[in-house]
């Protein structure tokens, strides 16, 4: 029998009501690159001064950039990079390739990605196909030598930006950086400069001193934004993102103040404004209200917390379960000692080698740093010290997420958490 012609039920009609809030919500997304970066003039100038010699054919110093998440490191480097690319001449071209080492985290992938990017963008079409490096299968030496060929063919200066460089170093050591910081001595017609970006200062401890000194010829620190600066950033985006009068000064000030309380993270502030707008839109409101911002803050916090719990390693989840169990027995504030006792029972039932007291304390500190619990050391004078722990918010959501793990669900000790 022939299929009946499709007849729409109008499912989406009620969700595509007339837009009363957004003019262009895309400008609030992470992928949008703003053309102006308020409160980053000093950082833009500092990077421009370091890179400027490139326009006269010299090789600029390598740069290491630090700063907490959402302080505009990536946006600033991309901004300066496009200015430099525009101003460089055909005779002395300068180009920037941007790699995120959270996903591109092995030497093979880093070298191949740089080479493939250059062949795709900067080589004549006739030279492109033969230069493509496969995703796997070559020897690293061969990839390195192909990268040199591609750089020589393209000529000029190549600035390689390694964003989240700490992830690369922690996953694959410092061989890639060792090779890249020395590649100029193997090149005749081309030059390479490196910009490393990180929000974790401790990764320097994983670097060989020689690699560190060539990588950090220049160092820059991006400070967190304060509430007033975040307001300016939000203003600039809100003008493009929202319809006139949909967002008030008070709403912008509240988003800025809440994000500044965290650690001055512009990404968080922009997310808060976008999610608040989406909540207002869903309610067919023609204005974003402070109540929408408060709810957006709760939603974002819940999402972040769920992601944190989901991605905890197994032992971390076990320690968290032990805490949930103690707290569900009615103790709002409990000690690390009681958590460790239950953790050990749990390890026995799950047939997992229990960690030492010290390691469990480290895991408790990690959960403290993630903001899931508060753990503080209390001194009892002559009787020594204990760590007191309590949950920062109601535990229902944490329980649901952690107990999603099938092996934990089956554990008899943990049945009270289901
Ligand atoms: N001064 C600014 N003006 C306008 N938008 C900004 C500014 N600083 C940051 N942003 C925006 O905030 C978001 C986060 O910025 P960015 O990705 O550059 O931060 P980051 O410091 O690299 O963070 P991470 O370390 O987490 O990668 C982006 O959407 C970016 O466009």
Question: d(Cα 83, Cα 91) in Å, to the nearest integer?
Answer: 17
Specify the ligand 1 atom closest to the Cα of 236. Answer: 4
The residue whose C-alpha atom lies closest to atom 24 belonging to ligand 1 is 69
**pTM summary value:** 0.80
Question: Do residues 173 and 75 share a domain?
Answer: yes
Lookup: tokens for 306: 């769920």
Considering only CA atoms, which of 50, 96, 256, 285 is closest in space to residue 192? Answer: 96
Is the beta carbon of 75 within 6 A of some atom in ligand 1? yes
CA distance 207 to 213: 9
Q: Are residues 65 and 200 in the same domain?
A: yes
Q: Are residues 59 and 112 in the same domain?
A: yes
Among 12-16, 229-233, 330-334, 360-364, the range of highest mean pLDDT: 229-233
In ligand 1, the atom with minimum distance to the C-alpha of 222 is 21
Of 41, 79, 225, 267, best ligand 1 pocket probe by most atoms within 8 Å of the beta carbon: 267
Contacts of 121 (CB under 8 A, 6+ apart): 95
CB-based contacts of 133-137 (< 8 A; 24+ apart in sequence):
135/109, 136/108
Q: Is 311 annotated as a binding residue?
A: no
Q: Could you read off the pLDDT of 260-286 as tens digits, one per residue?
A: 987 789 999 999 999 999 999 999 899
The mean pLDDT value of the chain amounts to: 90
Task: Take residue 176 and report the two structure tokens written for it.
Answer: 């890639």
Highest mean pLDDT, choosing among 128-142, 230-244, 308-322? 230-244
- For residue 400, the domain's CATH number is 1.10.10.10
* Backbone angle region of 268, left / alpha / beta, with phi > 0 → left and psi within -120 to 50 → alpha: alpha
Query: Is position 72 annotated in a ligand binding site?
Result: yes
If you search the block for the tokens 């920037």, which residue do you land on? 96
Q: Which helix (H) or strand (E) holds 63?
A: strand 63-67
Residue 17 falls inside a structural domain: no
Q: Give the domain range for residue 277.
A: 225-308
Residue identifier of the C-alpha nearest atom 16 of ligand 1? 72
Contacts of the segment 58-62: beta carbons below 8 A, 24+ positions apart: 59/157, 59/184, 59/191, 59/192, 59/193, 60/157, 60/159, 60/193, 61/193, 61/217, 61/218, 62/181, 62/193, 62/194, 62/195, 62/196, 62/214, 62/215, 62/216, 62/217, 62/218
Task: Output DSSP code: residue 376.
Answer: E
Which among 293, 295, 320 has a CA at the least distance from the CA of 306? 320
Answer yes or no: is 225 a known binding residue. yes
23 part of a folded domain: no
* Domain edge (last residue) among 168, 187, 222: 222
Q: How much distance in Å is there from the Cα of 140 to the middle of ligand 1?
A: 34
- Predicted local distance difference test score (pLDDT) of residue 15: 63
Q: What is the DSSP letter of 132?
A: P
Domain count, the chain: 3
Q: ipTM of the assembly?
A: 0.98
Q: Which residue has the tokens 């229990």?
A: 354
Q: 249: helix, coil or strand?
A: helix
Average pLDDT of the segment spanning 168-186: 93
Q: How confident is the model at residue 131 (pLDDT cuts 50, 70, 90)?
A: low
**75 marked as part of a ligand binding site:** yes
């Amino acid at each position: 029998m022939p299929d009946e012609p499709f007849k729409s039920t109008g499912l989406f009609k009620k969700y595509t009501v007339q837009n009363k809030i957004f003019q262009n919500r895309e400008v609030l997304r992470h992928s949008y690159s703003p053309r102006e970066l308020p409160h980053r003039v000093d950082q833009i100038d500092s990077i421009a001064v370091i890179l400027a010699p490139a326009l006269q054919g010299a090789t600029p110093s390598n740069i290491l950039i630090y700063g907490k998440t959402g302080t505009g490191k990536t946006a600033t480097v991309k901004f300066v990079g496009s200015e430099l690319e525009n101003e460089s001449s055909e005779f002395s071209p300068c180009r920037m390739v941007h790699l995120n080492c959270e996903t591109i985290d092995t030497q093979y992938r880093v070298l191949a990605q740089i080479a493939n990017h250059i062949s795709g963008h900067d080589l004549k079409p006739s030279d492109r196909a033969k230069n493509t490096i496969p995703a796997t299968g070559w020897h690293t030496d061969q990839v390195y030598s192909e990268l040199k060929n591609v750089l020589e063919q393209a000529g000029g200066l190549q600035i390689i930006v390694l964003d989240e460089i700490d992830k690369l170093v922690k996953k694959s050591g410092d061989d890639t950086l060792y090779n890249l910081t020395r590649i100029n001595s193997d090149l005749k017609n081309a030059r390479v400069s490196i910009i490393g970006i990180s929000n974790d200062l401790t990764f320097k401890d994983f670097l060989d001193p020689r690699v560190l000194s060539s990588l950090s010829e220049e160092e820059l620190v991006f400070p967190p934004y304060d509430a007033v600066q975040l307001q300016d950033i939000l203003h600039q985006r809100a003008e493009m993102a929202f319809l006139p009068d949909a967002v008030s000064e008070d709403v912008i000030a509240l988003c800025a103040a809440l994000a500044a309380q965290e650690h001055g993270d512009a990404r968080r502030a922009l997310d808060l404004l976008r999610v608040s707008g989406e909540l207002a839109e869903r309610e067919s409101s023609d204005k974003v209200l402070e109540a929408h911002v408060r709810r957006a803050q709760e939603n974002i916090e819940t999402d972040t917390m769920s992601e944190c719990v989901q991605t905890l390693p197994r032992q971390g989840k076990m320690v968290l379960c032990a805490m949930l169990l103690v707290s569900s027995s009615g103790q709002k504030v409990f000690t690390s000692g009681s958590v460790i006792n239950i953790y050990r029972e749990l390890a026995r039932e799950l047939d997992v080698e229990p960690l030492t007291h010290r390691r469990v304390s480290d895991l408790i500190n990690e959960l403290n740093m993630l903001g899931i619990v508060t753990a503080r050391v209390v001194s009892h004078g002559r009787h020594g010290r204990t760590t007191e722990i309590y949950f920062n918010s109601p535990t229902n959501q944490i329980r649901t997420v952690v107990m999603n793990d099938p092996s934990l669900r089956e554990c008899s000790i943990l049945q009270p958490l289901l």
